[in-house]
Structure formats: C-alpha cells, structure tokens
Structure 1
Amino acid sequence: MTRLLAPAVLGAAVLLGGCATATAPAPITSGNHAPLLPSVLFPGGAESFTAWRCSPDQALVTAVPEEPDSELRLWSAHGAWRLQPAVVASGARYEQDDVSFWNKGDSAIVETSRGRLECQVYMQRQALTRQQRPGVMFQGRGNEPGWMASLAHDRPQVTLSLDYGAREQTLPYRITALDNEAGRVVLGSGRGDTPFELRIEAGACLDDMSGEPFPARVTLTVEGEQYRGCGQGIAP
C-alpha cells in the first residue's frame, strides 16, 4: 500500500444547542467539479469574524456584513444560525425563532429558550479571501504539529500538508456524508491507496494557539492519526 503523504520533496454551559438552518444546493459528487459546501461554513459577505467570551462559560463566533439590514451569522459549539435584523431602541438586535442576539459596542446578550448568555468581545479576525488563497474554496488548519487541508474551488481535490509542510500531497476526494441543514460534510479519499477522512462541521472554533475565531471545526484522519483544528469557507 502506498503511504499517504510521504515526505515531500518539493491549524460547560450549553445554552446554544441545535443545528444550522441554512441550506445549500445538492453537491456535485462526480466529474471534474468541486461540490457546493453548506453556506454556514462561509462568512456570508462579512469581512471579519468576532469571538465572544460568554457567561455562563461558552464561546461564540459571529460574522455580519457592514451593509444595512444584513443578517448576522452566529456559531456556537453546537451549531450555526442565520439571524435577521430586528427593530431595537439602541444597539443592534437579530432574531431567528427562539434565538436572539443583541449587542452594543463590545457587549452582547444572547437569549434562547434554554437561557441567557452575557458576552464580551474576545478577538476579531479578518476573513480569508480568495485573493489571499487563490483557487481555495475551504481551508482547515491546526497546530502541534502544524497541518493544513485546502479544498480546490474548481475540482474535487484537496491538498494535505502535515508536519509543518514536511509532508504534502494533492489528492482527489469524494463526499461520503453531507448534511446541509447542520452544516456538516465528510470527505474521503478518491484513491484506494491513499486513504484519509476529512470531517467539517459548522460551529464556533477558536484556534488553540492564537485564539482566532473560525466558523467550522475540522478533523483530519490520516494513517490512524487524528488532527483537529478550525476552518473557513472562502467565497470568490
């Protein structure tokens, strides 16, 4: 069997629990086209992500475009939501079903049927763009050791880089599971001699070294080893 990624020559309180409500068209799983990933893996036109530290203890991630009346995308450890702007006397308020998010400055209050969170801005990060990552539709990364997985935007192909780039290979993939509503996709290798699994799930993810916020948790399994990290969809 060919060993995947041979050395190359050449990233407490569950008050917000649930699932993503956004949907995307069915994926293209054959031919030379890349699939359409769930939209909640992307920033939705926002230029940055914001991480919030909340009490009771929980981390949230949000993204909202600067255009007036834009929806707010909200990620917790258990799912993702797309909230619509609502009328409020001061600050900004967004709602969807039983979830509401109100913020003013660096403070926010999140209310659901399960309870209330009081949050403070922890960190902001500029969203990755196609200009910064040419040809990449989604990128996941993790630490210790550093690894990266980059999905091509125009074909079902992933570039895997392990051990800080010491091992790198570009491989075809196939979709083995997809749940648009939950924002979950599982990819498997398109080659029998180089197996791997890449799991992508919408949810608040903070880089375990920098604390930077991302809208997806990513797990890469290669040769029995698991690599965990965060990721983001990159729109054109």
Structure 2
Amino acid sequence: MPRLLVPAALGLTLLLGGCAIATPPSSITSGTHAPLLPSTLFAGGAESFTSWRCHPNQALVTAAPEGELRLWSAHGAWRLQPAVVASGDRYEGEQVSFWNEGTDAIVETSRGRLECQAYMQRQAFTRQQRPGVMFLGRGNEPGWMASLAHDRPQLTLSLDYGTREQTLPYRVTALDNEAGRVVLASGRGDTPFELRIQAGACLDDMSGEPFPARVTLTVDGEQYRGCGQGIAP
C-alpha cells in the first residue's frame, strides 16, 4: 500500500488550525504517581482510529467512541457531538463539522471545506495488549519505542530496534491539557532525555497507520520522531 505523508503545515493551518497553546509552568513535579495525561491523546473508548486523505491535500485522523467523534488534524484536536442529518452521520462542535457516509467525508470550518476519503484503519492499543502502559510512542529508522507506566512516573525506552533498552524515572516539565501537550524530562542527571507529546494527526511514516499524537524523543544527542497513543484501562 502506498505511503501517506503528512502534508505541509500551511494548508493545515488555513483549514484546521489548532487552538493557541497556553504557556505552562516551567517545571511540574510528578511525585510518586503517574500524571493524568490530556484526554486528546486517547481513543476515548473507540476501538479504532481512521485516517482520511483530504482535498486540499492534507490528512486527518478520527476515532468514534459511543456518542461523539474525535477528530485530529496536524495542528489540533476536537471532540464533536452528533447532529441531525438526512443521510450518513454528522458531528459538530467548536466551529467544525464532520459529515460522512461510507468512506466519504466532508469537513467544514469557517476557513474552508475539505473533501475526504477514508484511507486506513488501525485498531487502538488496549491495556490488555500493553499491560501497565499508559502511553506508547514509537518510530522508525532506526526503530524505537517509549512507554509510560500507568502507576508511576517511569518510562521504558527501547532504541535501535530493541538492542538498547532501559527504564528511567521522569519528571513533567510542561503539561497543557487544553492543547494536548506534555513534555517529560529524565529524573536522573546521568541519563538525560526529553520526550515531547503533542495531540494531532500522525501517520506512521512506514505503514501509514493513524495515531492521535506526535512524539519527539531526544536522547544521547539524537532526535527520534514518531507517533503515539494514550492507553486507557
């Protein structure tokens, strides 16, 4: 299957730009418990995520838990409520509407209209599949993975296709629930790292699979980029 690339930011900003990000405190301590992550990083009970190829050229991601639709662009996230429509399904909220019937969809905002087609679906990660994991981020070339424990501020890193692995404490240095933004730093001075999580449409750059978060990991002077998803109990 051909690879679906995330489009340039200009078009995304014009049609589905996200909300402004509030400036959080420069340092937030986690204590002995894992932080509560923004809800926009999760499927909300939906079984799967769907990616959409849209015109003008850009990609969206949706999840459909019972009673609402969650929508992600490259610059934001929305929770839309069901609305009355003659055919298909329609959801509205925060000056965004999403209508779809089968594999076709139309997204409208005050900035314009997108015509979309469903491209790929991915089953959401579950706690049964990933016991003890609250958030999972991963990327390619070289393959890497970062998983956050659900019960304590602890992160497990797997780098270079699993040949390097370590589990480390972390501290939260930024947390913005409205913007869906989290920044974590190492809790140990001898093993520094930074993990940035941002709610927004993300497509795996090898498989094209859809995710609700973009993830950037910086460790040992190297930067790794990928996608991620919050995993609810």
Q: Is the contact made by 1:17 and 1:78 (CA closer than 8 Å) also made in structure 2? A: yes
Q: Is the contact made by 1:29 and 1:35 (CA closer than 8 Å) also made in structure 2? A: no
Structure 1 165/20 Cα, relative in aligned 2: closer, same or farther at 3 Å?
farther
Structure 1 189/30 Cα, relative in aligned 2: closer, same or farther at 3 Å?
same
Q: Which residue of 2 aligns with 1:32?
A: 32
TM superposition shift of 1:223:
1.5
Q: Is the contact made by 2:203 and 2:210 (CA closer than 8 Å) also made in structure 1? A: yes
Q: Is the contact made by 2:175 and 2:183 (CA closer than 8 Å) also made in structure 1? A: yes
Three-state SS of the structure 1 residue aligned to 2:40 is: helix
Task: Determine if the alignment matches structure 1 residue 171 to structure 2 residue 171.
Answer: no
Q: For 1:141 and 1:44, how far apart are their aligned partners in 2? A: 20
Q: Is the contact made by 1:51 and 1:121 (CA closer than 8 Å) also made in structure 2? A: yes
Equivalent of 1:199 in 182, 196, 200: 196
Q: Which residue of 1 aligns with 2:50?
A: 50
Q: Which residue of 2 aligns with 1:71?
A: 68
TM superposition shift of 1:20:
8.8
Equivalent of 2:230 in 225, 228, 233: 233
1:1-236 matches, cutoff 5 A: 12=8, 13-14=11-12, 15-19=15-19, 29-65=29-65, 67=66, 70-236=67-233
Query: Which amino acid letter does the alignment assign opposite residue 181 of structure 1?
Result: E
Normalised by the size of structure 1, how large is the TM-score? 0.89
Three-state SS of the structure 2 residue aligned to 1:62 is: strand
TM superposition shift of 1:19:
2.9
TM superposition shift of 1:18:
1.3
Q: Flag structure 1 segments of 5+ consecutive residues without an equivalent.
A: 1-11, 22-27
Query: Which amino acid letter does the alignment assign opposite residue 123 of structure 1?
Result: M
The list of structure 1 runs, each at least 4 consecutive aligned residues, that deviate by more than 6 angstroms after superposition, is none
Query: Which amino acid letter does the alignment assign opposite residue 209 of structure 1?
Result: M
Q: For 1:20 and 1:211, how far apart are their aligned partners in 2? A: 28
1:157-193 CA distance string (max 9 Å, x none): 0000100011100000000011110000000000011
Q: For 1:127 and 1:30, how far apart are their aligned partners in 2? A: 27
TM superposition shift of 1:30:
3.4
1:80-130 CA distance string (max 9 Å, x none): 000111111111101112100000000000000110000000000000000
Residue correspondences, number: 216
Q: For 1:96 and 1:74, how far apart are their aligned partners in 2? A: 10
Q: For 1:20 and 1:141, how far apart are their aligned partners in 2? A: 26
Q: For 2:57 and 2:44, how far apart are their aligned partners in 1? A: 27
Query: Which amino acid letter does the alignment assign opposite residue 46 of structure 1?
Result: A
Query: Which amino acid letter does the alignment assign opposite residue 155 of structure 2?
Result: V
Q: For 1:162 and 1:97, how far apart are their aligned partners in 2? A: 39
Q: For 1:29 and 1:209, how far apart are their aligned partners in 2? A: 36
Query: Which amino acid letter does the alignment assign opposite residue 36 of structure 1?
Result: L
State the percentage of identical aligned residues. Answer: 88
Normalised by the size of structure 2, how large is the TM-score? 0.90
Q: For 1:79 and 1:92, how far apart are their aligned partners in 2? A: 22
Q: Flag structure 2 segments of 5+ consecutive residues without an equivalent.
A: 1-7, 22-27
